[in-house]
Structure 1
Amino acid sequence: MPSKGVHVFTYIAAHGCSIELSVPGRTVTVKELHRFSDVALEVESSEIKSLFDKRGKFIFKVFRNGKQITEQWIDVNAITGNASGGTMESIADTPSIFHDDLIVSYGLYEAGKGHDLLPNRHQCYVTVSPNYERWMAKLAPPGSELEKKPFRRLVLPSAHDVGMNSMESSDAVLRCVGGAVVGQLINDNRVLTKLADKLSADAIALIAPNIIYSLAITQKDSLEAMLKIGARYFEFRPARLHTAVRSKGALPDRLYFQHSAIPGMAYDAFLAGVVSFLRAHPAEIIVVQLRWDGVPDACAKPLAEEKKRYLEDALRPAKGEIVAGNLQDMKKLTIEQLRRDRKRLIMLDSVDSLSTYTDEGNATLTGDSILQALPRVLTRENQRGKAFINIQCQATASNITKAVVYSVLEAGATTSCLLATKGLCDHKTLPWCRDNVLRTCDPDQLVVLMNDFIDGATADVAVQLSRQRLEK
C-alpha cells in the first residue's frame, strides 16, 4: 500500500524530558539523555480509515516529568507525499519554544515526491535543551577556580550566517524593485542558468522569494533566541545594499548582513542586540568576527571609521559597562580578566582562523564528506599560528546546483535544501565533535562549533566540551 516516510532526528539534554513521535498506527518515545537518536516512521495509507482522504498526522510531543510542554504536527498525504496544514507548514512558523528553563528547537523539511538528490522522506529534527542564556556564568561562576582559566579553552556555539534569519530585508527589496533583481542579488549564474533552462525570466522573477529561501536563509530564530540557545560566536558581513537597489529606497541606507548580495539583518540592530544581551547577562562573553568573503564589489564595504562609529553607537547605552576587546585579549586573558576589564564583547576583523569549511566538502546532502574532512583538517600543523579553530558542521547544499533548482521549482514553505540536510548531518558531525575535539584540537586555541539553524544539540555539545577543556 502507498506510504510516505518521515525521518526524525532527536537529542535530549535536559533531565526528565521525553519526545513522543507518532503517525497513524505507531508511536515511539525517546528518553535517553545526550543520545543522537533517529527514528524512521511511515505514514501508511492502510492505517488511515478514510477511503478517499489519505492524509495522516505526523505529531511530535515533548514532555517533562510527564507534563506536556508542546505538540507540533503536520498532515502527510500517504499517496502524494505532500505535507501541509498543521503547525509546521512554514519555516517561519517553527521558532524555538521557550518553556520555563527549557528550549525546544525543531524544524521540518517537506520532501514532496522526492528527487534523486534530495531526501525522499520528510525530515524533522527536535532538540530539547536547558536554557543556555547564562551558560558561561554557570560553567565558570565569578570567583570560581574555572573562571581563572584562559578564555581560549572554551568551545563556543555559533549560528552560521546569523544575519540570514528572516526574509524581512529581502522581501522589502523585492516589493520595491521586483523579482527581476534576484539574479543580481544571488550573484550565482549556475543556479540562474539551470532555472532559465526550465522557466522564463518572468517566472523566475515570480519565484524570487523561493530562490532566496533555498540559497540564503540559514537561521529561523531571532538574535535574542539564538543567544538564549547558547550561541556566543558570530560572523557578520556588513556592507551596503547592492548598487542595483540602493537608490530605490527599499530599505534605509545603512549596513546589512550580506549573503552574496542578499540583504539580511541590519548591522546596527545586530550590535544593539548583542550589547543589550551582555548588559542583561553580566558574566557572558561574546565574540564577533567581521569578514566579507563572497560579498560582491557592488555592495560597498565600510571603511575603518564607519565600523568604529557603528561599534561606538552600540556601546554607548552601556555607559562603560562593556568595552570592546580584541584578538590579543581573546588569546591571552582569562575568563576572570575579561569580565573584570569589561571586555565582554570581543571584536575581530578578518583574522586568520582555521576553518574546516570547503566548497567541495560541505557541498553534501549526507554529511559524509564533512565527516571525512574533519580529521584531515584538524591537525596540529594546520592549527599552528591560527587565531582560533572554526568547525563548521552545516552542509551547504546550496552549492549543489541541481539540489537548489529542485528545491526552488518544487518550493513550498518548507522545502529549503539547507533544511533538508540539517538532522542527518548533525547526527554525524556533532557526535564526532563530542568524541574527538579534545583529542584533535589544541587546548590553548579557542574552538567554535558552527551550525545552520542553531539548536540545543549544537549548544549542549559545545558547553560540555568547554567544561572538559576547562577542567583539564
Structure 2
Amino acid sequence: MPSKGIKCYAYIAVQGVEIEFEVPKNSITKRDPDKFTIDHLEVESSNLPRLKIKGNFSFKVRRDGRELTNQWIEVNSMTGGLGGGTMKNMDQTPAIFVDGLIIVYAFYDAGPGLAGLPKQHQCFVTVTHNYENWMRDIAPPDTEKADRKFNKMVLPSAHDIGMNSMQTATAMLQKAGTGVVKEVLGQSIGNILILFNKLADSTINRIAPDIVRALAVTQKDSVDTILKIGARYFEFRPAKCHRQMQKVSPLEDTIYFQHGAIPGLMYKQFLHEVVQFLDGHKDEIVVVQNRWDGVPGDCPRATDDELRDIQNDVLNGKDIQIGNLDDMLNKSIKDLRNERKRLIILKDVNQVSNYDDAASATLDGLPIVAKLEDMGRNPPRGHPITLLQCQATSTNIRDVIIASVVDSDVSTSPLLATKAICDARILPVLKGECGKQLTREESVVVILNDFFDGATADTAISLCRDRLGV
C-alpha cells in the first residue's frame, strides 16, 4: 500500500524528558539522555480511514509526564506532499523556550529522492537545558574555575550566522534584472549557472528568492535565540552589497554579512543583538571573527575604520569593552570578565579546520567523519583557533542543485536535508575520543554547525567542561 516515510532524529540532554514521534496507528518514544537516536515511521494509507490518503505526523515533548509542546504536519501517503500543520516551512519552527529547557526542531520536506537526496521526510528534535548562562555555570565568578585560561574553551558556533533570514536578500532581489541576478547568484552558489542554463529568464526572476532560501539560508533562529541555545563564536563576512545589485537595490549602502554576493544580516544589527545579550548576561563572553572567505571583489570589504565606527556606535553607553586576539589567547576567564572584555573581535586569524571542498560535499556525513578522525590521530598544532565543522555543503554537488530547485519543491533545502543525517554521525564522534584528542592542543576550539541546535551546543559544552576540568 502507498506510504511516505519519516526519519525521526532525537537528542535529549535532560533527565525526565521524553519525545514521542507519532503517525496513524504507530508511535516511537525516546527517553534515554545523551544519545543520538534515529527511527523510522511511515504514514501508511492502510492505516488511514477508508477513502482517506492523508494522515498526521507529530512529535510531542514531555517532562515528567507534562506536555511541553506538540508539533504536527499533514502528510499525503501517496505523494508525500505536505498539507496543513505547524512545521510546513522553517519559518514555522523557531526554537521553543519552556520550563527551563530549549527545544530545537525542524522538518525537511523530502521529494522523491533524486540526486541522492533523502526520499523520506526528516524531522529532528533536540531538548537541552537553557544554555544562556553556560559560561557562568561552568566557571562561576570568584571561583578557581574562572582562573582557567580562556584559550581552553570549546565554543559552540552557528555557521554563517548572517544567513538566518530572507529579509535582506528578498529586498535586494526586488528590482534586479535577470542579468544581475545571474551574476550575483553565480558568484555565490556553486553550480548554479548549470541550473540557469536550463531556465528561461522569467523563471529565474520568479524563483530567485526560492533559490536563495534553499541554497544559502543556513540558520533559522534569531541571533538572540542562537546565543541562548549556547553559541558563543561567530564568523562574520562584513562587506557592502555587490555594486551591480546596489544600483537597483532599496537596501541601505552599508555593511552586511555576505554569503558570496548574497547579503544577509546587517553588521550593525548583528553586533547590536550580541551586545544586548551580553548586557543581560554579565558572565558570558562572545568571540566574533571577521573574515572575507568567498566574498567577491564586487562586494567592497568593510574597512577597519568602518568596522570600528559601527562597533563604537553599538557599544556606546554599554559597560563592555572589545578584546583582541592576545586577550583571547593569554587571559583567564576571570581577567576578561574583570576587564569587561566580553566581546572579543578578531580579523582573519590563522586557524585550522577539518573543512575541505571534497569531504564536505556529502549527503551522508561519512567523509566529514573520516576527516575528523584523521585529524584526531594527529591533532594540528600552532593555530589560535581549531574549527571543527559539522555541516555538509551538499550545495557543491551539481545534481543536488538541479534536483533541489528544478526537479523538486523550490522551498526544499538540501542543507536541511543533510542536517540531521550528518549530526547523528558527526556529533557522537566529537563527543567521544576523537573530540577529546582534538581539544588537547593549546587553542580555542570551535564546533560549528548549520541550523544551530541543542545537540551541537551540548556536545561543545560537554567537551569544554572536560577540557577545563570542571
TM range (shorter): over 0.9
1:251 aligns with 2:248: no
Q: Give the Cα–Cα distance (whole angstroms) in 1 for the partners of residues 189 and 410 of structure 2.
A: 24
* Cα distance change on mapping 1:179 and 1:48 into 2, 3 Å: farther
Partner of 1:151: 150
Match of 1:407 among 384, 404, 414: 404
Q: Give the Cα–Cα distance (whole angstroms) in 2 for the partners of residues 82 and 115 of structure 1.
A: 15
Give the drift of 1:461: 0.9
Aligned ranges 1:114-133 → 2 under 5 Å: 114-133=113-132
Runs of 4+ in structure 1 over 4 Å off: none
Please tell me whether the aligned partners of residues 191 and 397 of structure 2 are also in contact (alpha carbons under 8 angstroms): no
Match of 1:426 among 420, 423, 432: 423
* Per-residue CA distance 1:55-114 (angstroms, 9 max, x = gap): 111100111111111111111111112123201111111111111311110111111222
Aligned ranges 1:169-180 → 2 under 5 Å: 169-177=168-176
1:391 aligns with 2:388: yes
Length-normalised TM-score, structure 1: 0.96
SS of the equivalent of 1:85 reads strand
Partner of 1:346: 344
Equivalenced residue count is: 468
Partner of 1:182: 181
* Cα distance change on mapping 1:179 and 1:217 into 2, 3 Å: farther
Give the drift of 1:190: 5.4
Give the drift of 1:366: 0.1
Aligned ranges 1:204-215 → 2 under 5 Å: 204-215=204-215
Give the drift of 1:443: 4.3
Give the drift of 1:328: 1.1
Give the drift of 1:170: 0.6
Aligned ranges 1:250-269 → 2 under 5 Å: 250-269=250-269
Q: Give the Cα–Cα distance (whole angstroms) in 2 for the partners of residues 342 and 431 of structure 1.
A: 35
* Per-residue CA distance 1:199-242 (angstroms, 9 max, x = gap): 21221221101111122100000000000000000000010011
Q: Give the Cα–Cα distance (whole angstroms) in 2 for the partners of residues 21 and 297 of structure 1.
A: 48
* Cα distance change on mapping 1:271 and 1:28 into 2, 3 Å: same
Q: Give the Cα–Cα distance (whole angstroms) in 1 for the partners of residues 290 and 309 of structure 2.
A: 15
Q: Which runs of 5+ in 2 are unaligned?
A: none
* Per-residue CA distance 1:307-364 (angstroms, 9 max, x = gap): 211111121130xx21111111111111111111111111110000111111111110
SS of the equivalent of 2:404 reads helix
SS of the equivalent of 1:342 reads coil
Aligned ranges 1:29-178 → 2 under 5 Å: 29-51=29-51, 53-177=52-176
Give the drift of 1:413: 6.9
Partner of 1:463: 461
* Cα distance change on mapping 1:333 and 1:33 into 2, 3 Å: same
Please tell me whether the aligned partners of residues 5 and 41 of structure 1 are also in contact (alpha carbons under 8 angstroms): yes
Please tell me whether the aligned partners of residues 158 and 451 of structure 2 are also in contact (alpha carbons under 8 angstroms): yes
Please tell me whether the aligned partners of residues 63 and 70 of structure 1 are also in contact (alpha carbons under 8 angstroms): yes
* Cα distance change on mapping 1:167 and 1:179 into 2, 3 Å: farther
Please tell me whether the aligned partners of residues 182 and 193 of structure 2 are also in contact (alpha carbons under 8 angstroms): no
Calculate percent identity across the aligned residue pairs: 46
Q: Give the Cα–Cα distance (whole angstroms) in 2 for the partners of residues 428 and 254 of structure 1.
A: 40
Aligned ranges 1:292-441 → 2 under 5 Å: 292-318=292-318, 321-378=319-376, 380=378, 383-412=380-409, 415-435=412-432, 436-441=434-439
Length-normalised TM-score, structure 2: 0.96
User: Considering only aligned residues, what root-mean-square deviation do their CA atoms show, in Å?
Assistant: 1.5
Q: Give the Cα–Cα distance (whole angstroms) in 2 for the partners of residues 330 and 74 of structure 1.
A: 45
SS of the equivalent of 2:39 reads strand
1:218 aligns with 2:218: yes
Give the drift of 1:463: 0.9
* Per-residue CA distance 1:168-198 (angstroms, 9 max, x = gap): 0011112232565332222158533332343
* Cα distance change on mapping 1:73 and 1:181 into 2, 3 Å: farther
Q: Give the Cα–Cα distance (whole angstroms) in 2 for the partners of residues 295 and 467 of structure 1.
A: 36
The 10-residue stretch of structure 1 (176-185 or 12-21) with the greater mean CA deviation from structure 2: 176-185
Please tell me whether the aligned partners of residues 261 and 295 of structure 1 are also in contact (alpha carbons under 8 angstroms): yes
Instruction: Kindly provide the amino acid, as one letter, of the partner of residue 273 in structure 2.
Output: G
The 10-residue stretch of structure 1 (370-379 or 69-78) with the greater mean CA deviation from structure 2: 370-379
Q: Give the Cα–Cα distance (whole angstroms) in 1 for the partners of residues 207 and 191 of structure 2.
A: 13
Instruction: Kindly provide the amino acid, as one letter, of the partner of residue 376 in structure 1.
Output: D
Give the drift of 1:36: 0.2
* Per-residue CA distance 1:373-402 (angstroms, 9 max, x = gap): 11223455x622211100000011111121
Q: Give the Cα–Cα distance (whole angstroms) in 1 for the partners of residues 203 and 154 of structure 2.
A: 45
Give the drift of 1:412: 3.8
Partner of 1:23: 23
1:228 aligns with 2:228: yes
Instruction: Kindly provide the amino acid, as one letter, of the partner of residue 255 in structure 2.
Output: L
SS of the equivalent of 1:398 reads helix
